[in-house]
Structure 1
Amino acid sequence: MAAAANDLRRGMANHRTPANLRAFVQAIIRYINTGKSADVRFGSTDKVELVDIERKQIEFSYKDHNGYHFMDPETYDTVTLQDNLLGDAKDYLVENTQVQVLYAEGKAVQVEMPASVSLKVIESAEGLRGDTASNVTKPAKLETGKTINVPLFIKEGEVIKIDTRTGDYMGRA
């Protein structure tokens, strides 16, 4: 489906009208095949090819040497995704985690995690009594293998909430 460059919504593109030049539309686009972004300019009469994106909710099942296996809860179909598509999301995946997958032309192109996940602390050093005067943190290893900084009062075996966008501790679950 083609659309005029002027029809792109705000947030997708900026319409610019410099003093001595013709108006143009400036946009940051992402190539679906490579995942890389590029800054491009279109004339206001140019046509832009839009891609139909399908969004599906799937559930993480398990990981093996072939990749990360997910199940579609509606059809019970299994989908296998590779490390490079998941990116940092693989650091927050535990069994039964629900994620959104974006499909373009039948191919998975992006994985969106929920804003926060609850994970169990499996390894953490003990906090010292005298270190509580300021916001002091210590490293803690989570059940997925990721290490993050947590407050001193967090102990092994506790379940904590983590922001998947920043990787920061949010609180106890």
Structure 2
Amino acid sequence: QHVIELDGGLFSIVDYTRVKPGKGGAYLKTKLRNLKTGATADKSFRAGEKINKAYLDESKIEYLYRADNLYYFLDKENYEELILTDSQV
């Protein structure tokens, strides 16, 4: 699964089509799913347009508690504490 960073959010590429019109430059038509909200959207990218690929790690963590605007989690594999802010969650 390919995930990109776009407009401050993370999106998975659900589907894509390369389009080469008779006139004009080629472009990529995509269907994207917002990883935070689950909403889908169509977006086109021109040939040569830069796209930021997101690199994600997956691990099993357990929610511990919340204090002020911080969320505390425990990584179940190495028992390290992970602290995230409201905006990161």
- The interval holding the TM-score normalised by the smaller chain is 0.5 to 0.7
The secondary structure found in structure 2 opposite 1:79 is strand
Tell me how many residue pairs correspond in the alignment. Answer: 70
Q: How far off is 1:62 after superposition?
A: 1.0
Choose 1 or 2 for highest CA Rg.
Answer: 1
Counterpart contact for 1:14–1:25, Cα < 8 Å: yes
Distance 1:48 1:84 in 2: 23
Gap regions ≥5 residues in structure 1: 1-9, 31-36, 87-173
TM-score by length of 2: 0.53
Counterpart contact for 2:74–2:80, Cα < 8 Å: yes
- Letter matched to residue 26 of structure 2: A
Q: Which of 49, 64, 80 pairs up with 1:61?
A: 64
- 1:51 paired to 2:54: yes
- 1:23 paired to 2:26: yes
Q: How far off is 1:14 after superposition?
A: 3.0
Q: Deviations over 1:109-155 (max 9, x none)?
A: xxxxxxxxxxxxxxxxxxxxxxxxxxxxxxxxxxxxxxxxxxxxxxx
Relative contact order, higher structure (CA 8 A, sep 6+): 2
The secondary structure found in structure 1 opposite 2:14 is coil
Distance 1:23 1:29 in 2: 23
Distance 1:21 1:29 in 2: 28
Counterpart contact for 1:69–1:78, Cα < 8 Å: yes
Q: Deviations over 1:65-101 (max 9, x none)?
A: 2511000011111111112222xxxxxxxxxxxxxxx
- Letter matched to residue 41 of structure 1: F
Counterpart contact for 1:29–1:40, Cα < 8 Å: no
TM-score by length of 1: 0.31
Alignment correspondent of 1:41: 45
Alignment correspondent of 2:79: 76
From the two aligned structures, give the one with the greater helix fraction: 1
Equivalent residues in 2 for 1:89-128, closer than 5 Å: none
Distance 2:76 2:64 in 1: 11
Residue identity (%): 20
